[in-house]
């Protein structure tokens, strides 16, 4: 694989939906109506590392090279994409996809230590953890690397919907967006799984040579602690989500110095954590 890896949008057709017949039920008014509904594709995606079956995730089969790179970064198997010796993506005749990563010996040893084969709804971040201490291991501190005004959140929220084609067509996909400090959206990735969407985004950032420290991440999802961890490990100083955080997400964000904004709407948001007073001290 040339580094950074050439980008491929898999599968080649680029269509990530499947049409399905349904019946629209009349609840508030009488009458039912046959309809055809576009559903977001969800398929098993196997990740193999150095010939080892490492994980099986349920995901939308787009941008699987970005997904594999972001997954490897989030898992700590690699520190940067230059460590990836080879990456290939294959569709299986039996159904699903397989992504094969070839890493140097150090990465292969890490994969062996945390090997697992498990089907989950998304990359939950717990697979391969065998004790609570591993789950709650300390996170690195993030550095506030830029000035940010709260108008940037409104700008990003307003700009995001047209950049979510899968969600617009199906209503069943999450998006992860990387935004400049002024709210300009620079990259977006979609998936049926919120964790998968974030891994795809982190992989695309690495491929593009962009530092996550230079902007903020916007997620159309509930803020669980795994999303906080992935954001922190990528070095991003600000995470904005449109839904509420869990208690552990808030605690982990505070411990890592991550600015966390939740329940974000164009007219208001909930500031959960702001250690550097990036937003609390600014007004629209």
Q: Which residues are catalytic?
A: 124
Q: What are 70's two structure tokens?
A: 């972001």
Residue 156: its H or E element:
helix 151-159
**Cβ atoms 216, 234 nearer than 8 A:** no
**Cβ atoms 173, 188 nearer than 8 A:** no
CA 64 to chain centre: 12
**Cβ atoms 62, 70 nearer than 8 A:** no
**Cβ atoms 114, 128 nearer than 8 A:** yes
Count of CA atoms in the C-beta half-sphere (13 A) of 205: 31
**Cβ atoms 88, 50 nearer than 8 A:** no
Q: How far apart are CA 80 and CA 72, in angstroms?
A: 9
- Look at residues 84, 108, 83, 81 and name the one whose alpha carbon lies nearest to residue 203: 81
Cβ partners under 8 Å of residue 269, min gap 6 = 150, 153, 240, 261, 262, 263
Q: What are 195's two structure tokens?
A: 């964790």
Q: How far apart are CA 203 and CA 84, in angstroms?
A: 12
């Amino acid at each position: 694989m040339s580094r950074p890896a050439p980008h491929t949008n898999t599968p080649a057709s680029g269509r990530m939906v499947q049409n399905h017949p349904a019946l629209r039920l009349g609840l508030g008014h009488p009458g039912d109506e046959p309809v055809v509904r576009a559903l977001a594709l969800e398929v098993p995606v196997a990740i193999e590392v150095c010939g080892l079956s490492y994980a099986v995730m349920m995901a939308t089969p787009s941008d699987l090279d970005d997904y594999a790179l972001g997954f490897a970064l989030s898992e700590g198997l690699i520190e940067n994409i230059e460590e990836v010796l080879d990456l290939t993506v294959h569709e299986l005749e039996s159904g699903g996809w397989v992504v094969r990563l070839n890493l140097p010996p150090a990465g292969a040893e890490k994969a062996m230590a945390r090997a697992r084969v498990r089907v989950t709804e998304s990359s939950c971040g717990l697979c391969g953890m065998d004790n609570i201490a591993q789950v709650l291991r300390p996170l690195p501190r993030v550095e506030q690397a830029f000035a940010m005004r709260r108008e940037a959140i409104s700008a990003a929220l307003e700009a995001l919907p047209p950049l979510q084609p899968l969600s617009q067509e199906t209503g069943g996909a999450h998006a992860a967006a990387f935004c400049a400090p002024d709210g300009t959206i620079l990259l977006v990735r979609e998936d049926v799984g919120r964790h998968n969407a974030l891994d795809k985004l982190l992989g695309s950032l690495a491929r593009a040579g962009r530092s996550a420290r230079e902007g903020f991440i916007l997620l159309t999802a509930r803020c669980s602690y795994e999303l906080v961890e992935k954001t922190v490990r990528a070095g991003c100083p600000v995470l904005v989500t449109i839904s509420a955080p869990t208690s552990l997400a808030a605690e982990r964000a505070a411990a890592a110095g991550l600015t966390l904004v939740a329940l974000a709407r164009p007219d208001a948001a909930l500031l959960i954590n702001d250690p550097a007073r990036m937003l609390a001290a600014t007004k629209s």
